[in-house]
Amino acid sequence: MQLNAKSKAIKDFLALTDTPGSFSGQSRKVVAVNVGETALEFIAPWSSDHSALSNLTWSTAGHTIDADVDFAGFDLTNVTDISLSSITSVGYLDYKATTAHRFNMVAADTDVRLEFVGTTNSGLLIWLEDEDAFYFNDSVLMLGSKALTFRDANAYIYSSSSGVLDIFASGSHRLTTAVNTDLDLNFIGTTNSGVLTWMEDEDYFLFGDDIMLADGENIILDSTTGTKIGTGTTQKLGFFNATPVVQQPTIADADGTLADITTKFNTLLAQLEALGLNASV
């Protein structure tokens, strides 16, 4: 080796040709060989405030840490193949943050998936980026009487006992559908089912099945305008299981003779029988 007598020894680390050119913004970082193995660079270190950190092993198969780790304000990014089995105790993995826990995707406008992988069954929770909503890929079980609350404490769904579903609202319960569309309320039974339909254009309820009042219950009517049974003469009505019929024809006044009175009276009895208000002979 031949040295030039005029050469000067380099005493400044930054003056080397294969080192970073500045210490600015590199506080608390360490020197390491870059990925290309061609120069030195500054990287964020692993640091710990605990003397128990005696084993920090890095390998392509996985990374093992035997004590708590303080990242000292640095971000843990671009890291793959990390498997932590426990932090606070055996079988538990705790994440602690003073502000929030964030799950981000590298690519922009991408749904965020949170997968729960079990031995027999697994679950999936997805944040749908474009739809601005969460997607649950499995059932959601509310334990005991815990409630699913909407907006505030004045509207919620819960189960007060096994097999019972309670829907509570301090204001009102509303069933809505598309504009100018009839609204069906379906009651699905094992053998028989029922349907109640709000007829939007006609402005009335349509009962798709029989209506039965419990014994001792009555139909209470308003005393101001009153209530009609049948709003047209061609609508059919029957009492006491009689076949429903339209409005019966007018019976003209009797002429005063016994024969005419008898005829018209018998006609009236026939009409009452047709309605079911008088038993048939």
**Least trusted range by pLDDT, from 11-15, 29-33, 108-112:** 11-15
For 37-78, write each residue's pLDDT tens digit.
888 888 876 544 444 444 444 444 455 555 555 555 544 544
| Bigger pLDDT: 66 vs 114 | 114
Average pLDDT rounded to a whole number, residues 81-98: 56
121 backbone φψ class: left, alpha, beta (φ>0; ψ -120 to 50)? beta
Residues 6+ apart with CB under 8 A from 175: 183, 185, 198
| Bigger pLDDT: 49 vs 211 | 211
Q: What is the pLDDT of residue 46?
A: 55
Q: Is the pTM of this model over 0.85?
A: no
Q: How far apart are CA 162 and CA 206, in angstroms?
A: 32
Q: Is the pLDDT of residue 35 over 90?
A: no
| Bigger pLDDT: 71 vs 137 | 137
Q: What is the pLDDT of residue 48?
A: 45
| Bigger pLDDT: 272 vs 71 | 272
Q: What is the pLDDT of residue 242?
A: 95
Look at the block and give the residue holding tokens 């019976």. Answer: 251
Contact 132, 112 (CB under 8 A): no
Would the CA dihedral through 4, 7, 11, 17 be positive or negative? negative
Q: What is the pLDDT of residue 80?
A: 42
Q: What is the pLDDT of residue 114?
A: 92
Q: Is the pLDDT of residue 91 over 90?
A: no
Q: Is the pLDDT of residue 239 over 60?
A: yes
For 138-172, write each residue's pLDDT tens digit.
999 999 999 999 999 999 999 999 999 999 999 99
Mean pLDDT (the chain) is: 83
Q: How far apart are CA 68 and CA 39, in angstroms?
A: 32
For 248-257, write each residue's pLDDT tens digit.
999 999 999 9
Q: What is the pLDDT of residue 115?
A: 92
Q: What is the pLDDT of residue 119?
A: 93
Q: What is the pLDDT of residue 19?
A: 85
Average pLDDT rounded to a whole number, residues 227-236: 95
**Apex 19 CA angle, 77 and 69, nearest 5:** 30
| Bigger pLDDT: 87 vs 222 | 222
Residues 6+ apart with CB under 8 A from 84: 65, 93
Q: What is the pLDDT of residue 244?
A: 96
Element spanning 272, H or E: helix 258-275
